[in-house]
Structure 1
Amino acid sequence: MTASVKRAAARRKILMLAALFALPVIVAYGLYFSGWRPAAFGNHGELVQPARPIVDAALTLLDGKTLHFRELRGKWTLIVFSPAECLSPCERNLVKMRQVMAAQGQNAERVQSLIVVTDAKARDWLKYAIKDYPGLRAVVGSSEAMEALARQFALSVGSPLDNLNRIYLVDPLGNFMMSYPADADGNGIRKDLARLLRVSRIG
């Protein structure tokens, strides 16, 4: 056997080993996003199929600076929408998001949270309200911008402007891919996100 033939055989072995190591991750990711669930998994989140790319929107942070939605890419993003006041269901969602993120341990830095307030007059209230939620970014915008953004998160049950009090999950590529109803169990959200972080190599 010549040296070149030996090198080619060695390369094939290396490629086969690499494929064997990568295959479980690829299969797990494919099964998860195809909607398949083992019986023990339960139905925590509601998948958006196919995942929906969110068109960029210009929003306003509480300090008056502009935040483009595309700037959220690179991390998994948990989003809630709220009218002028974040009432009890909204507050429960903020607590859930804070707990879900903290429970990810060293992976917590791969997740971010956002509250989109649909009434720009709520800016003063927001500055006070988000103090209990470190890292949470709050944005407001014109009614036109809010309507355009909310339409992209619309589901069969309605849009975020219908005060559904859902939690929406956007992947690091900017795709809306899952949501949770107002009564969703925070532990279920934690498990879903932990699984996504484990199988994903993005974000």
Structure 2
Amino acid sequence: MKKFGKLWLLLAAFALPVGIAQLMLTMHWYQGGVTNRGILLDPPLHEDWVARPGRWQLLYVLPDHCDTACAGALFHLRQIPQAVGADQDRVAGLLLVSELAGQADELLQGLQPSMGPAPLLKQLQATEYGAQAIYLADPLGNILMAYPLATDQPAILAQGKDVLRDLKRLLKVSKIG
């Protein structure tokens, strides 16, 4: 038995970690790490109308009544394209509205509302977050990430940092824009 004891010990030293790793994966005890702060849309939405060569876009559907979450989203649409620094010509904020009338001018200061096509507005409304999120679109017209709106001031500021962090990472590794 002494003859095979070292062999069994050596076999256990290599097989035991593999067995534990397999057990962790099958029992779903391990959740893979993610680096993005937004929520990936699966599958991403595609709209040719959104495609702007060389430009990443932040999309927001303006609701009929603008509350604090809406005001925070409008703040992000104005500030984040400037906050990316040297890459600010590669980022734009796009405010989608169903109708141009009835919006307060002080809320829209610095933003140009755009009449989004009805199919795009319906697609965004049909997502899990609807009009209660900021969406990120790539230069090819794929709307690939959502950032659900925050309601209180510290959370709104943290959300802006999250969007900026993801956007800077995408701009750094992007080959399309």
TM-score (norm: length of structure 1): 0.59
Aligned-residue offset at 1:91: 1.1
Specify the structure having the higher radius of gyration (Cα): 2
Q: Which residue of 1 aligns with 2:107?
A: 129
Identical aligned pairs, as a percentage?
A: 31
Q: Which residue of 2 aligns with 1:140?
A: 115
Q: Which residue of 1 aligns with 2:173?
A: 199
Q: Which residue of 2 aligns with 1:152?
A: 123
Aligned-residue offset at 1:156: 4.9
State whether structure 2 residue 55 is matched by structure 1 residue 52. no
Equivalent residues in 2 for 1:66-77, closer than 5 Å: 69-70=50-51, 72-77=52-57
User: Does the residue aligned with 1:186 lie in a helix, a strand or coil?
Assistant: helix
Q: In the alignment, is the contact (CA less than 8 A) between 1:167 and 1:179 conserved in 2?
A: yes
Q: Which residue of 1 aligns with 2:84?
A: 104
Aligned-residue offset at 1:37: 6.5
Q: In the alignment, is the contact (CA less than 8 A) between 2:40 and 2:146 conserved in 1?
A: yes
- Find 2:148's aligned residue among 158, 181, 199: 181
- Find 1:88's aligned residue among 30, 51, 68: 68
User: Does the residue aligned with 1:153 lie in a helix, a strand or coil?
Assistant: helix
Q: In the alignment, is the contact (CA less than 8 A) between 1:83 and 1:119 conserved in 2?
A: no
Q: In the alignment, is the contact (CA less than 8 A) between 1:80 and 1:90 conserved in 2?
A: no
Q: Distance in 2 between matches of 1:100 and 1:186?
A: 7
- Find 1:169's aligned residue among 136, 139, 142: 136
User: Does the residue aligned with 2:107 lie in a helix, a strand or coil?
Assistant: helix
Change (3 A) 1:51 1:157: closer
The letter of the residue matching 1:111 is V
TM-score (norm: length of structure 2): 0.67
Greater shift, 180-189 or 193-202, is seen at 180-189
Equivalenced residues, count: 140
Q: Which residue of 2 aligns with 1:25?
A: none
Task: Quote the RMSD (CA, aligned, Å).
Answer: 2.6
Q: Distance in 1 between matches of 2:79 and 2:163?
A: 10
Q: Which residue of 1 aligns with 2:18?
A: none
* Structure 2: segments with no counterpart, 5+ residues: 1-30, 151-155
Change (3 A) 1:37 1:189: farther
